[in-house]
């Protein structure tokens, strides 16, 4: 018998019609009571942690979820976290840094349609997530639409379809078919997880548009310890407009700049073009390579809670955690 803790945080899966749109109203126990066909070899206990639309999820909630897992880690064989899909990829990434090397499965899931609706993906997703949590799949993952996706690699790529998530620049960890978990990849884990102490939330993200005002970038640097810039293609910054001077100014004042790309697949390579190579060579900007923006943001929050020293930030940033990037 496998003992699984189901931690509910809200989301569409637990939502009901309020007359003013959907909002979470169904408890963890309520989710379970609407589910039939759960493997009798799985014993599920519930924890009603939050009841939020995931648009309202903040880093302090990531810490609450990690803490919940930490406090109960020895008592269960695996964990399922039900969560809204909108920010699920951020939470999965954050938990991957907050709980590293877990030998037990920590599985996040949600749904595009509430569990009480006639047509819903909630039941399949929850049933699959419980199966995965009762399997030997270590670490943080997302189970959605029968796929198992590594927590550091997930991105919501569809706003309405049941196939809402994709694994970016990394294969799916496995699939769940006919009540069975089929693993494609065996990740490493430790004997015991390492739980991180905290997060530094002073991280911002700027999506570049052609002709963007440098003032917006100045503002973000002024109010953050690190700014992630989602630029174009393999990465670079416009040569006019004062961006280089702006970044130089803020890096000299101890801020961290990371360049990534708005393109979903294949990542950045700043060395290719003149608009990018100077950034690394002359300024010491970091680049995301094959990491998702969600993972970059969460990783910086985890790193900056430990150190703000540029070489140490750089070392930790380029050290793969939970296969968030291919080793360089």
What SS3 class is residue 197? coil
| Among 9, 12, 91, 292, the one annotated catalytic | 12
12/293 with CB nearer ligand ASP: 12
Q: Does 53 bind ligand ASP (CB under 6 A)?
A: yes
- Taking CB under 6 A as the binding criterion, the range among 47-55, 178-186, 229-237, 281-289 that sits at the site for ligand ASP is 47-55
Backbone angles phi, psi at 30, to 5 degrees: -65, -40
Q: Does 119 bind ligand ASP (CB under 6 A)?
A: no
Minimum CB separation of residue 144 from ligand ASP in Å reads 10
The H or E element containing residue 68 is helix 59-72
Is 120 annotated in the active site? no
**Cα distance between residue 64 and residue 69, in whole Å:** 9
Minimum CB separation of residue 277 from ligand ASP in Å reads 39
**Cα distance between residue 243 and residue 222, in whole Å:** 14
Minimum CB separation of residue 56 from ligand ASP in Å reads 8
Q: Does 114 bind ligand ASP (CB under 6 A)?
A: no
The residue nearest ligand ASP at its CB is: 84
Instruction: Take residue 105 and report the two structure tokens written for it.
Output: 């499965």
Q: Where are the alpha helices (H) located in the chain, listed in sequence order? A: 28-33, 59-72, 88-98, 122-133, 214-223, 243-252, 274-278, 293-304, 310-317
Contact of 143 with 109, CB cutoff 8 Å: yes
Specify the length of the chain in residues: 328
Q: Select from 5, 12, 155, 165 the one that contacts ligand ASP (CB under 6 A).
A: 12
**Cα distance between residue 176 and residue 31, in whole Å:** 20
Minimum CB separation of residue 287 from ligand ASP in Å reads 30
Q: Count the site residues for ligand ASP by CB under 6 A.
A: 10
Residues marked active site are found at 12
Q: Which residues of this chain interact with ligand ASP, rule CB under 6 A?
A: 11-12, 53-55, 84-86, 110, 112
């Amino acid at each position: 018998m496998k003992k699984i803790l189901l931690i509910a945080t809200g989301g569409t899966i637990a939502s009901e019609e309020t007359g003013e749109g959907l909002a979470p109203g169904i408890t963890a126990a309520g989710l379970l009571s609407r589910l039939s066909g759960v493997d009798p070899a799985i014993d599920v206990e519930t924890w009603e942690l939050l009841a939020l639309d995931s648009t309202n999820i903040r880093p302090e909630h990531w810490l609450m979820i990690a803490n919940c897992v930490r406090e109960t880690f020895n008592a269960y064989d695996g964990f399922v976290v039900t969560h809204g899909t909108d920010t699920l990829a951020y939470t999965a990434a954050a938990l991957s840094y907050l709980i590293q090397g877990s030998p037990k499965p920590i599985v996040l899931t949600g749904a595009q349609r509430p569990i009480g609706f006639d047509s819903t993906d909630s039941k399949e997703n929850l049933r699959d997530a419980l199966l995965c949590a009762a399997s030997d799949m270590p670490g943080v993952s997302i189970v959605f639409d029968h796929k198992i996706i590594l927590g550091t690699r997930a991105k919501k790529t569809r706003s309405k379809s049941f196939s809402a998530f994709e694994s970016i620049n990394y294969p799916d960890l496995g699939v769940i078919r006919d009540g069975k978990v089929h693993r494609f990849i065996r990740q490493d884990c430790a004997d015991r997880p390492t739980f991180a102490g905290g997060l530094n939330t002073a991280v911002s993200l700027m999506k570049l548009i052609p002709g963007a005002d440098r003032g917006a970038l100045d503002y973000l640097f002024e109010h953050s310890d690190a700014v992630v810039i989602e630029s174009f293609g393999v990465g670079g910054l416009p040569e006019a407009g004062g961006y280089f001077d702006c970044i130089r100014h803020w890096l000299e004042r101890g801020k961290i700049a990371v360049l990534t790309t708005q393109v979903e697949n294949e990542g950045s390579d700043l060395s290719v073009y003149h608009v990018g190579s100077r950034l690394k060579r002359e300024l010491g900007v970091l680049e995301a390579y094959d990491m998702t923006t969600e993972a970059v943001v969460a990783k910086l929050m985890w790193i900056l809670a430990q150190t703000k020293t540029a070489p140490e930030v750089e070392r930790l940033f380029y050290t793969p955690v939970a296969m968030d990037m291919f080793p360089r």
